[in-house]
Structure 1
Amino acid sequence: MGASGSAVRVGADSLCQFVSDLFVHMGWKRSEGDTVADHLVVADQSGHPSHGTGMLGTYVDSFRAGAIRPGAEPADRPAAPPFAVIDANFALGHIVALEAVDRAVGMVGQYGVGIVNVIRAHHMGRIGHYAERAADAGMISMFWANVYGRAPLVAPFGGTQARMGTNPHCIGIPRVGQPPILLDFATSRIPLGKARVAHTRGVPAPEGSLLDHLGKETRNPAVMFEEPAGALLPFGDHKGYGLALVAELLSSALAGGETIAELDDAGLIANNLLAIVLDPTRLGQDPESVSERIERYLRWVTDVPLAEGVDAVLAPGDPEFDSRRAHAGSVELSAGGLARLNAAAAAAGFRPFTA
């Protein structure tokens, strides 16, 4: 375990093992613990601690409250291929979402497209993880999710109180021999997890990202963790608000999942997810030609005079992949992040993390 300022660098493998062991201790199967651990540690390495091991405290709280439980069995609801609907029964979302992508990819072989709606899942984590799974199979993918089961976090454009979750939007486009183009973002200016990170580190939130409980703009991230709580603002004003609203409806209303208006006090973070996976070769173009055009366009877009203070123009997903290369085999945890990790373990009656 190495230290850098107030951060500690730990081995990724040892952190994965610890997280998996924690879930096994709480009653999940080893394979399930491994899946969740891989997801969370990759999120940390990708520069998204808000969706990484920092979520363990929330998961343990949901477990202790009985909101999630080992052995929860997802079940199919009636749907005909290339459609599928999975009622997750509040099983661990990381596992059910991977199953959904794999099923969608499986349907692509016969139908050219696979469309899967997952409803009533526990928190799925970083949605880009699933776009990468589809891209590994050579597939384009699109995802919309809502966030419910807890109080709303995001104010609609023009409003002063929260009415929505951070409802992510994600698209993945595979590339030959390169990481995919990966567009994955919350529809709020910042996700709640990043407000939590700012609050823990004692730094202000970005300008224009928060309202206090009186509806006034603020940079103090503490407003999201006080009562009465403030609200996150949508990115791009009406644009982010519109995407959040559409993500809510597409992920939930089509197959009978709850919207946040129908279930906002269940004591857990739940997701519904609509996944559309398609085979780009079914559009009639030669795959090599498509790949060449993608790479040519990316070179043209990124080969541009740079603004002051900017080192390079990046494609969507490049920051995450660059972060992973910089943290190959390791994870950097803040001192607060390490403390929260061990607090979560202690709450579950488990040992502290030692590298």
Structure 2
Amino acid sequence: MRVLEYVDEVKSGVLNASSRPELVRNNKNFLEINGNGGIGISALNLAYDECCKDAEDKGLSVMAIKNVGHTGRLGAYAEVAGENGFLTICMGGGNRQNWRQVAPPGGAKAMLPTNPWCIGIPAGQTGPVVLDFATSKIAGGWIYAAKSAGALLPDNCVKDVNGNVTRNPDDYFSGGALMPAAEHKGFGLALIAELVGQALLGPASTKHWLLIAIKADQFREKTSFERVADEILDELRLCPPAPGSSGVQIPGERERIQRESSQNILQIPVSTWDQICDLASKYGVST
């Protein structure tokens, strides 16, 4: 679980637990969020709020988010923005010297971070469509979760230090590497995000992000847009399922269904909960 990773980052000095994000203007009068080296969740919350607020007035807003730690699930921010009528595009990169996780196609070792992308757009009756993905075959969080739970990883996602495909999460932490999603396509997206995060936005001590927000109804009247969006989505849902498949899933729909059926109950492995309790006891936090 990420909370264990966050504590390790604070202890090692990678993450500043006491910092707060702030909205600033750079020397070009361009809006930025400075995360001040802290957790990225509060910084991204602030960024999406301020960027959408700016886009409400101008139709379009672009914002840099600098010096932030792990942001949590990007789709959570995009869902809120989509529900409020904004198309958003977000990508993150930088600080690869500390986060060499993914081996490029043709490469023998990890070189780039997982550099996620997230695109969200308002849609029809079922809510926004949100595409939230790491540029590796699986997100880094899967590996931490599998290790914590004593579980195996999916096939063909990770290589060990010798370049052999493995399902053992320990092999990743012993010099292994994630494989890029869709080979050169995932690598290309990761590279663009790294160029944005480090070359465009400047030296990254943690991670930099670029967020774009567009007010959707400036292109088309809302009811017309939603009607056509529903037609597209319904047509895809009616596609005959492939053998062994439960049918077509719209991006973000699985998470939405799971959230609604969970009744706000979060299930985690006993071994993971034990680790969290041990951590809480160590720092005097009640569970």
Q: List per-residue Cα deviations over 1:84-140 (Å, max 9, x = no partner).
A: 222211122111111111111111122111111101112111111121121132100
Correspondence for 2:194 among 237, 248, 251: 248
* Length-normalised TM-score, structure 2: 0.92
Is 2:282 the partner of 1:344?
no
Q: 1:145 — aligned with what?
A: 92
Q: 2:177 — aligned with what?
A: 231
Q: List per-residue Cα deviations over 1:51-106 (Å, max 9, x = no partner).
A: xxx2111222233344313144535241667x522221112211111111111111
Q: Let me know the Cα RMSD of the aligned residues.
A: 2.0
Stretch deviating more after TM superposition (203-212 or 299-308): 203-212
Which segments of structure 1 move beyond 4 Å, counting only runs of 4 or more? none
Cα pair 2:201 2:208 within 8 Å, conserved: no
Rounded Cα–Cα distance in structure 1 between residues aligned with 2:154 and 2:21: 41
Q: Secondary structure at the match of 1:332?
A: coil
Structure 1 unaligned residues grouped into runs of 5+: 1-53, 264-269
Structure 2 unaligned residues grouped into runs of 5+: none
Q: 2:252 — aligned with what?
A: 317
Correspondence for 1:90 among 37, 54, 57: 37
Rounded Cα–Cα distance in structure 2 between residues aligned with 1:80 and 1:294: 38
Go from structure 1 to structure 2 and tell me whether the alpha carbon gap of 1:187 and 1:71 turns closer, same or farther (over 3 Å shift).
Answer: closer
Go from structure 1 to structure 2 and tell me whether the alpha carbon gap of 1:126 and 1:147 turns closer, same or farther (over 3 Å shift).
Answer: farther
Is 2:159 the partner of 1:211?
yes
Cα pair 2:94 2:203 within 8 Å, conserved: no
How many residue pairs align between the two structures? Answer: 285
Q: 1:331 — aligned with what?
A: 266
Q: 2:218 — aligned with what?
A: 282
Q: List per-residue Cα deviations over 1:198-254 (Å, max 9, x = no partner).
A: 23333332222111111222222211222xx11000010111111111111223332
Cα pair 2:125 2:226 within 8 Å, conserved: no
Is 2:150 the partner of 1:202?
yes
Go from structure 1 to structure 2 and tell me whether the alpha carbon gap of 1:249 and 1:160 turns closer, same or farther (over 3 Å shift).
Answer: same
Is 2:53 the partner of 1:106?
yes
Q: 1:14 — aligned with what?
A: none
Amino acid at match of 1:279: K
Q: 2:229 — aligned with what?
A: 294
Amino acid at match of 2:247: A
Q: Secondary structure at the match of 2:56?
A: helix
Go from structure 1 to structure 2 and tell me whether the alpha carbon gap of 1:277 and 1:237 turns closer, same or farther (over 3 Å shift).
Answer: same
Is 2:266 the partner of 1:305?
no
Structure with higher RCO (Cα < 8 A, 6+ apart)? 1
Stretch deviating more after TM superposition (293-302 or 145-154): 145-154
Q: Give the 5 Å matches for 1:149-160.
A: 150-160=98-108
Once the two structures are TM-superposed, the CA of residue 342 in structure 1 deviates from its matched residue by 1.3
Cα pair 1:86 1:116 within 8 Å, conserved: yes
Q: 2:78 — aligned with what?
A: 131
Amino acid at match of 2:138: I
Rounded Cα–Cα distance in structure 1 between residues aligned with 2:10 and 2:145: 23
